[in-house]
Every structure is written in C-alpha cells, then in structure tokens.
Chains A and B, each alone.
Chain A
Amino acid sequence: MELFFFYYLAGVIILTALLVVALRNPIYSALSLLIMFFHVAGLYVTLHAEFLAAVQVIVYAGAILVLYLFVVMLLNVKREDRYHPQFPIGAFLGLVIITEVLLLAFRRSESGTPPMPPAGSVAEAVGNTETIGDVLYTTYLFPFEVASLILLVAMIGAIVLAKRDLFEA
C-alpha cells in the first residue's frame, strides 16, 4: 500500500515535470508545475512531514507559481522562441544531473539502505509542527534570524532591479 502511494505520486511528479519542459505553451507548463507541486506535497504527507506539505502548498503552489506566471507574462514568452539556443547547455547539465542521480541510486543499492531514523519516533509524539517549532526557536535560532535577513536582501534586490521600470517609465 505504501508502495502504491509512492509510485502514484512519483509517477505523476515525473510525468508533470516532463510536461513542464516539453509543452510548447508556457502557461500550460506553469499549470503542470502546479499539479507537480501538489503531488510533491502528497509525497511529504506520506513521509510524515505534514508541516512541510502545508508549506509546499502555501508557498510553492500559492506564491512561487504566481511569480512564475508573472514572469511568463512579463517576458511575453511566445510558444515558438523557447529554449532552442540554450539546448546544448541544458542537455549537458541534464546529463550531469542524471549521472549524479544514477550514481547515488547505484551506490545506495550497493551499500544497502542507509539507516533511517524510526518514523514517527520524535515527530509524532507531540505533533509535526510543534516539533519544528521546538527546535527552530531554540536550537536553530540563529539560522532562523538569518533567514529573515536573507529575505530582506531578496526584497531589496527585487525592488532595486525593477526600479528603473518603476520610476523612470
């Protein structure tokens, strides 16, 4: 049963990920990306990472995808002039990544599955979100505060980059 859920979710993720790069209409690509985000959230749920699943839906499906759609509309990407000049670079990078994934899978099957922490030993005693909150605001306090600084930089960067269009147009 566990395998059934995994194969369903993984299959849809692979299919929609392929559609994202294969479809000629960028809006359709963005929509299949949306389906992929939801299935990745489903995968997180089967892994007992419930908070991560909720974040996946809220941030990726809710906010990042809107950003992608705006980029598509902003650049006015037409269906014909896509990814042809970048094809050699893309093919090379894809080859590197596929090699890496195959190497990882191969080495993993060679040395047996790495020891997994027993599922639900820590997280489910009190609840997923509560466990994250417990460690995030005590042990990982500094990375948490740094995250806000990084987001501040991202925002200032976005405004500076768009500034010319904003104030001189």
Chain B
Amino acid sequence: MTGSEPLLDYLGRYFSIVLFIGIALAFGVVTLLISYLVQPKYPEAEKLSPYECGSEPFSDARMPFPVRYYIFAMLFVIFDIEVIFLYPWAVVFDKIGLVGLVEMLVFIGLFLMAYVYAWKKGALEWD
C-alpha cells in the first residue's frame, strides 16, 4: 500500500468492520422494536412491579458491590495491557530474534512477579 492511496480506498478496508458493528446494533434495536410493536399491552400496578421469583422486592437493585469486583477488573486491565504489548512483538518476532525473546521474557517476568504477589496476597481468592 502506498502513501498516496485515497482515503476512501483505505477506509474501504474497514467497511466490513463498520458493517459488523452496524448489524450488531441493528439486531438489538430491531429486536426491541418488533417486540414493542407486537406485544399486547395491559399494564396494571401489580404487573409493572419488579418481579423477584414471586416474593416482594425488599431493596433497591443498585446496591454497593464488594471491592473484590474492582480488584478483578484492575487485574484484568493490567494483564490486558500486557497482551497488547505482545501483539507487535509477535509481528516482528522473526526480525528481532533472540534479543527480542529475552526482552519479552524480562517483561513477562515482571508481570509474573505481579501475578505471584496477587496470588500470595489472596487477591485471586473469592472468600
């Protein structure tokens, strides 16, 4: 591909991704729309109340989550970034050879330390 390639040709290669996102959005919208159009509507107070396996709801659904979820999300972000660094490394691996392997081992080694720390501290345990 040359630098003088028109923008439209370049973006054309992303058309399938845009189409994919469009279909995914349309699927949700059309499903909701059709069910909204064909459903019978007989609203009454009892029917509109939140339903919890037959028993009356006793608290707001928006209750505070335990901090554990946050820890897991944080660990996920960090290891996600580690994987991001692996993509360009994998692409150029055959060019940089053994040096590349060693530097990536150092990189992953530091993450391994973080992983061992989290494990030893019990951050990966649920209870």
Contact = CB atoms under 8 A, between A and B. Distances in A.
Contact of A145 (B4, B11, B107): B107
A169 B62 CA distance: 21
A59 B111 contact: no
Contacts, number: 154
Interface in A52-96: 54-55, 58-59, 62-64, 66-67, 70-71, 73-76, 78
Interface residues of A, number: 57
Contact of B85 (A5, A73, A144, A159): A144
B70 interface: yes
B111 A144 contact: no
Contacts of B107: 144-145, 148
A159 B92 contact: no
B103 A118 contact: no
B103 to A, nearest CB: 6
Nearest to A45: B14
Given A144-B107, A152-B111, A159 B117 contact: yes
A76 B84 contact: no
Q: Is the interface of A mostly helix, strand, loop or mixed?
A: helix
A119 B3 contact: yes
Contact of B77 (A63, A121, A129): A63
Interface of A: 1-2, 5, 38, 45-46, 48, 51, 54-55, 58-59, 62-64, 66-67, 70-71, 73-76, 78, 118-121, 124, 127, 129-130, 132-134, 136-138, 141, 144-145, 147-149, 151-152, 154-156, 158-159, 162-163, 165-167, 169
Across the A-B interface, the 6 shortest Cβ-Cβ residue pairs:
A120-B3, A133-B88, A133-B92, A76-B64, A165-B67, A148-B110
Given A64-B77, A151-B81, A158-B74, 12 more contacts: A55-B84, A120-B5, A124-B5, A134-B92, A154-B78, A155-B74, A155-B78, A156-B114, A159-B71, A165-B66, A166-B122, A167-B122
